[in-house]
Amino acid sequence: MEYRKLLMEEKQKNKELSDEVERLQQLQEELISSRLKDTKDAQLCITTAGGHVSRETTKHTKRTGGEKDK
């Protein structure tokens, strides 16, 4: 009878652990999905603004290079 009680306790613990693992996996998936969305949004912003920034940086670099040559 004691073995049955121990077995039932172990089964309950396993169920609780399985439930916790499932909950954590879902949380992890949500975080990954959220980070991917944030990354895509950030890349879109950089791409949209990036062309303008790149041109200015290129012009500034050329000017600086020319001034150093003089």
Q: 50-59: string of b/e by CB count within 10 Å (b at 16+)?
A: eeeeeeeeee
In whole angstroms, what is the distance from residue 70 CA to residue 60 CA?
16
Q: What are the structure tokens assigned to 67, written together?
A: 């001034």
- For residue 70, the model assigns a pLDDT of 45
pLDDT at residue 56, rounded to an integer:
40
Closest Cα partner for 28 from 36, 13, 42? 36
Total count of residues recorded for the chain: 70
pLDDT in tens, the chain (70 residues): 899 999 999 999 999 999 999 999 999 999 998 888 888 777 777 766 655 544 444 444 444 455 444 4
Ranges of beta strands (E only) in 1-70 are none
